[in-house]
A and B are shown apart, each in its own frame.
Chain A
């Protein structure tokens, strides 16, 4: 039986690898921090336009645009890295040349991909924490006491479908090497139709059905309800159920895609090509 030490050893090893490589480029932290302050400030200024006016579409979220959009952009950061990390790990390893040395070890590709996510998840969490700090301390954003269990569950169930999509993207990169149409399509449709910058109620009627099939729409809705309206599990059960079904479907699709992607690349002898 695997001990806790061996189960977590590989994700920790990947975290250490990525952390050491990232900290060897120190300048990126300064530019990232500066970027967050600028982004937050620009949305703060944008929200000033709506100050004192009643925007009916924002009423379900407390009526204030600034926390609405800040939650949207902060969480989109998570969903984007969840979709892209696996494909990026494969692509970077192909180009840099480390893929061969990873794949000749007795570690499955799924473990390699999931472990490569740890640093991204933690660094993104740190970045989002920084977004919130900037929002609260520099721009007077108000935070409500929240239901932590509901928030954690909503967050996890929103991430999982993106994991599945990320695995499909990685499988695509394994077989076709370049381009990532699945990740690209997901990023565009999520940004446009998922309610990141504006509520989905402002979308034209013919676009709304597309919006409802995206995991980000339901994830953002649930998380905003929890953070801005103090909603609990019962209030967001419909979104959670939809996300749970989508999670199972996309994870199974992702695993199957990786399995077949590897099979095709090994058969064609193109696994290490780039």
Chain B
């Protein structure tokens, strides 16, 4: 079966550009992704883990066609990231931590209606999808209230409702629990695993820097550090006799990478247990 997401050797470097670099000095370059390859099966929850600056958000932006990679190629549901970006956007739903992506003076329903139209939905299909998305996220009662009156949890649920409008095959969830309290976080994790992944069969990229959250929800995880894939596989297999818990295993992995003389030489230090 065709993987839902497939990335081959994706690299991305950001180059600083301002008047100083134009006139006086060489621009600074930041390596965001270095030769990243990834395969995610349909219906799988793939965790994207790593400390701040690891390259997780850049990878999410590449998958959502907002950033173009310097090299490598990728596809979502068989559609090329390089040449079929508009078609890909029909296949993806994006949930980010940023609640400013909604119109605060509109109601939840008005927001969903607006974005549903941008997803090429109209008439009875649009109404059905909006109703279903509101039911799924348990937001029917708050739909007619202005977005500005929502709690953080409700805003996040509306973001998921919006992402579900186009009935996407892939959901990109970038730090989706950041502004939530522990109870709301727990609810969202359960909802994502049970409803979105198991019931709705969505392929999910769950981007987080919280190891326990990833351990809870993800079928597999890819750990990024300084743009490189350090590990890709089941999280429980990461911990072993030397590193009995996941946090220790993670920090050992990062230490290993940082201290390895091979790391800087571009030699692959990835431990892939997914095969």
Contact = CB atoms under 8 A, between A and B. Distances in A.
B97 to A, nearest CB: 11
Interface string A129-169: 00000000000000000000000000000000000000000
A269 B90 CA distance: 21
B12 A269 contact: yes
B67 A266 contact: yes
Contacts, number: 91
A192 interface: no
A10 B117 contact: yes
Given A5-B123, A6-B122, A271-B66, A98 B100 contact: yes
Interface SS majority for chain B: mixed
Given A12-B117, A21-B105, 4 more contacts: A6-B122, A17-B110, A105-B118, A263-B68
A25 to B, nearest CB: 8
24 contacts: A6-B122, A9-B122, A12-B117, A14-B114, A16-B113, A17-B106, A17-B110, A97-B98, A97-B100, A97-B101, A98-B103, A101-B102, A101-B115, A104-B64, A104-B89, A104-B92, A105-B89, A106-B90, A106-B119, A106-B120, A263-B68, A266-B65, A269-B12, A269-B58
A10 B94 CA distance: 20
Interface string B125-148: 000000000000000000000000
A9 B61 CA distance: 28
A112 B118 CA distance: 9
Nearest to B93: A104
Q: Which 8 A-B pairs have the closest CB atoms?
A: A97-B100, A13-B117, A105-B118, A101-B101, A106-B89, A266-B68, A107-B118, A106-B90
B61 A98 contact: no
A267 B17 CA distance: 12
A96 interface: yes
B94 A104 contact: yes
Interface in B52-106: 58, 61, 64-68, 70, 86-87, 89-90, 92, 94, 96, 98, 100-103, 105-106
Contact of A98 (B32, B86, B101, B117): B101
Interface in B3-38: 12, 14-15, 17, 32
Contact of A103 (B14, B66, B70): B66
A65 B177 CA distance: 64
Contacts of A197: none
Contacts of B66: 100, 103-104, 266, 271-272
Nearest to B172: A104
Interface residues of B, number: 39
A263 B65 CA distance: 11
Interface in B161-190: 162, 166
B106 A21 contact: yes
B12 A98 contact: no
A263 B66 CA distance: 10
Contacts of A21: 103, 105-106
B240 to A, nearest CB: 37
B178 to A, nearest CB: 15
Contacts of A234: none
A106 B115 CA distance: 10
Nearest to B68: A266
Which of B12, B89, B92, B118 gathers the greatest number of chain A CB atoms within 10 Å?
B118
Contacts of A102: 118
Nearest to B99: A97
A267 B12 CA distance: 9
Contacts of A13: 113-114, 117-118
